[in-house]
Amino acid sequence: MLPAFEFEIEFLEAVIQPTSKKHPNFKRLLKEGESTVRHTDAEGKVFFDNLDQGTYQVTEIKTKDGNALLKEPIVFTLPFTMTMQEAQEYQNVDFSSAKEDVGYTNKWYFYDCLYEVTNNATFKMPMTGDDGKWKYGFIGFGIVMAVSAGFVICNTKNKKAKKRKHKK
């Protein structure tokens, strides 16, 4: 079941200060320094929308049993910028929501981005059918040996004491 994953997003640093001219229905997800946690949906997707321009950090904080958490957080800056040459190196760049800065930087600015995260299963040592209870057998065997040695020693002392009495 894919909804077992949790991601935390933290707004590290704003690129520009937000203006008060935003649409009245626009609700910013985070202010600088804030964070929030989101869970994946049934398809294993998590969405972070209404993000201002700036640097963010996404950290996987919960995964399903048998999988390893991401070793490093994902740090990214919005808008994501690329030159046309860089964009052509990637096969699946969607220019429909991108804006081009013609004449000044000649870069494309992407505000709607998809980041695919893959997760690896944790390595489990193969078992040979043992459940770990063998150590109790060793402990029991050791106790039996100690008690047996005690009986042998006591029995030997008693035999020596009886021989001494018979010789007198």
Q: Is the pLDDT of residue 20 over 70?
A: no
Summarize pLDDT for 112-129 with one digit per residue, the tens: 777 777 766 666 666 666
Percent above pLDDT 70 for the chain = 77
pTM for the model: 0.60
Average pLDDT along the chain: 79
| Token code pair at residue 136 | 């109790």
Which strands form 74-78's sheet, in the order they lie side by side?
35-39, 6-14, 54-62, 74-78
Distance between first and last Cα of the chain:
87
| Token code pair at residue 166 | 């018979």
Q: Is the pLDDT of residue 62 over 80?
A: yes
Q: What is the model's pLDDT at position 84?
A: 83
The secondary structure of the chain, three-state, reads CHHHCEEEEEEEEECCCCCCCCCCCCCCCCCCCCEEEEECCCCCCCCCCCCCCEEEEEEEEECCCCECCCCCCEEEEECEEEEHHHHHHCCCCCCCCCEECCCCCCEEEECCCCCCCCCCECCCCCCCCCCCCHHHHHHHHHHHHHHHHHHHHHHHHHHHHHHHHHHC
Summarize pLDDT for 63-121 with one digit per residue, the tens: 887 778 888 899 988 888 888 888 778 767 777 778 888 778 888 888 777 777 776 66
Q: What is the model's pLDDT at position 4?
A: 72
Q: What is the model's pLDDT at position 110?
A: 82
As assigned by CATH, the class of the 2-110 domain is: mainly beta
Q: What is the model's pLDDT at position 1?
A: 42
